[in-house]
């Protein structure tokens, strides 16, 4: 598709086809590239494939005795968004192996209607969900703390109601109109106290019934009360599908919510303005400051597959600006002997200190920009 080509061109393109005009941030870097997934298969690669790719890069860098700036312009909405999923736990673990910096984009869900949230008290909460025309399938995740006990019911656009559904092991299955619903109550994991309630909407015929569905949450025993809901990310939903009361906060995609990575949002460098699409913080429940910083991500010219250049927009394009900058700082520090320990959290600290404030924002850090905009020159210790 050219996504990886564009990303790599920003991080390390040599600009040859433009006589140096569209050169990347760290053009003399050596490259190690992993392509994810089976090209004959549909959909996103598996989490395990991503972990294998990361493992290969880090082990190779350790074997060669070289520092590694690792770019992950990749993310999805599946998970608790609190930094405690298996993938995030893995990233936090490998971030301390060898001398590496892992940079991850926040995703492009900031202005989408794929997230909503609320706090459940003593009364019911109703969450309206608009399903547009010709939607073939949808999954929806409800995340809460396991300590809270809730029931929920589902109302079809025609007024028919199913539920309330209690927490049970295994899959619950029912039908509303011409749509079949599968419900699964998850359990906490060894590395997380959160609980997921997973709903799968499956058409009996060709499409899910369109209209406004209502999810009614009923408190049984509440201690914390906070809940979040997510729909799939990545423009896989048709126009008109989304929460009617979307919440922009906590629209970070996973694994940008991992603790020990550098989480990168996007801004429009042409006008020094925040990018509306850029995934926003903070993390659910743990309230980590994410993103850490932002970089240019609007109308970025970079390499195209087969030769030449093309313009792309997104946090995927912002992330390699930070990855390339990390590579330059690691060259200055590790390779050139100015700072042998310039990697990991130390690199993050330097980039945060050097981050530039943008007009219109008085409080830092904030959920939109984190600590500010990338400024590599100001990140070099004086």
What's the chain look like in SS3?
A: CCHHHHHHHHHHCCCHHHCCCCCCCCCCCCCCCCCCCCCCCCCCCCHHHHHHHHHHHHHHHHHHCCCEEEEECCCECCCCCCCCCHHHHHHHHHCCCCCEEEEEECCCCCCCCCEEEEECCCCCEEEEEEECCCCCCEEEEEEEECCCEEEEEEECCCCCEEEEECCCCCEEEEEECCEEEEEEECCCECCECEEEEEEEEEECCCCCCCEEEEEEEEEEECCCCEEEEECCCCCCCCCCCEECCCCCCCCCCECCCCCCCEEEEEEECCCCEECCCCCCCCCCCCCCCCCCEEEECCCEEEECCCCCEEEECCHHHHHHHHHHHHHHHHHHHHHCCCCCCCCHHHHHHHHHHHCECCCCCCCCCECCCECCECCHHHHCCC
267: its two tokens: 């801004």
User: Cα dihedral sign for 312, 315, 317, 318?
Assistant: positive
pLDDT along the chain (382 residues), means of 10: 92 93 95 81 72 95 97 92 91 95 97 95 93 93 94 93 84 92 90 91 93 95 95 89 96 96 97 96 94 98 93 97 98 96 97 96 96 96 81
The HSE-up count of residue 4 (CA atoms within 13 Å, CB side) is: 9
Residue 36's pLDDT is what?
82
127: its two tokens: 């969450």
Residue pointed to by tokens 């880090």: 58
250, 117 contact by CB (below 8 A): yes
208, 179 contact by CB (below 8 A): yes
- The β-bridge relationship of strands 262-268 and 179-185 is unpaired
Residue 42's pLDDT is what?
58
The torsion angles phi and psi of 62, rounded to 5 degrees, stand at -65, -45
Give the span between the Cα atoms of 73 and 11, in whole angstroms: 11
Residue 24's pLDDT is what?
96
The torsion angles phi and psi of 56, rounded to 5 degrees, stand at -65, -45
Angle 331-92-283 from CA coordinates, rounded to 5°: 110
Compute and round to an integer the Cα radius of gyration of the chain. Answer: 22
Among 109, 107, 103, CA closest to 374? 103
Q: What pTM, to 2 d.p., does this model score?
A: 0.93
Give, in order, the Cα–Cα distances in Å from 54 to each of 49, 93, 95: 9, 12, 10
Residue 324's pLDDT is what?
98
Residue 325's pLDDT is what?
98
Give, in order, the Cα–Cα distances in Å from 226 to each of 149, 195, 253, 284: 12, 12, 19, 9
312: its two tokens: 């792309």
Give the span between the Cα atoms of 190 and 382, in whole angstroms: 43
Residue 43's pLDDT is what?
57
Residue 188's pLDDT is what?
87
Residue 168's pLDDT is what?
81
Residue 189's pLDDT is what?
85
Residue 32's pLDDT is what?
95
Among 375, 369, 324, CA closest to 354? 375
Give the span between the Cα atoms of 190 and 147, in whole angstroms: 15
What's the farthest any 2 CA atoms get from each other in the chain? 69
């Amino acid at each position: 598709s050219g996504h990886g080509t564009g990303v790599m061109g920003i991080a390390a393109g040599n600009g040859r086809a433009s006589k140096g005009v569209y050169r990347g941030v760290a053009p003399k870097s050596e490259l190690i590239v992993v392509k994810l997934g089976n090209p004959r298969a549909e959909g996103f690669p598996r989490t395990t494939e991503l972990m294998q790719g990361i493992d290969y890069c880090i082990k190779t860098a350790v074997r060669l005795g070289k520092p590694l700036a690792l770019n992950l312009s990749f993310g999805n909405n599946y998970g608790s968004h609190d930094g405690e999923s298996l993938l995030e736990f893995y990233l936090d673990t490998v971030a301390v192996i060898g001398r590496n910096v892992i940079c991850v984009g926040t995703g492009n869900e900031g202005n989408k209607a794929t997230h909503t949230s609320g706090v459940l008290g003593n009364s019911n909460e109703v969450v309206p969900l608009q399903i547009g025309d010709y939607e073939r399938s949808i999954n929806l995740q409800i995340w809460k703390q396991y300590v809270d006990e809730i029931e929920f019911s589902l109302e079809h656009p025609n007024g028919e109601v199913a539920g309330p559904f209690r927490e049970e092991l295994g899959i619950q299955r029912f039908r509303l109109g011409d749509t079949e619903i599968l419900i699964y109550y998850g359990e906490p994991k060894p590395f997380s106290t959160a609980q997921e309630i997973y709903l799968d909407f499956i058409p009996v015929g060709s499409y899910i019934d369109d209209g406004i569905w209502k999810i009614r949450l009923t408190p049984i025993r509440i201690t914390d009360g906070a809940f979040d809901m997510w729909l799939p990310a990545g423009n896989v939903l048709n126009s008109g599908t989304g929460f009617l009361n979307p919440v922009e906060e906590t629209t970070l995609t996973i694994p940008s919510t991992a603790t020990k990575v550098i989480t990168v949002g996007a801004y429009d460098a042409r006008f020094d303005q925040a990018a509306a699409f850029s995934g926003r913080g903070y993390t659910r429940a743990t309230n980590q400051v994410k993103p850490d910083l932002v970089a240019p991500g609007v109308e970025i010219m970079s390499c195209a597959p087969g030769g030449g250049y093309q313009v792309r927009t997104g946090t995927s394009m912002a992330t390699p600006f930070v990855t390339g900058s990390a590579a330059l700082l690691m060259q200055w520090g590790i390779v050139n002997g100015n700072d042998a320990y310039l990697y990991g959290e130390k690199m993050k600290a330097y980039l945060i200190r050097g981050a530039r404030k943008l007009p219109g924002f008085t409080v830092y850090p904030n959920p939109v920009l984190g600590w500010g905009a990338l400024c590599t020159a100001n990140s070099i210790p004086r």
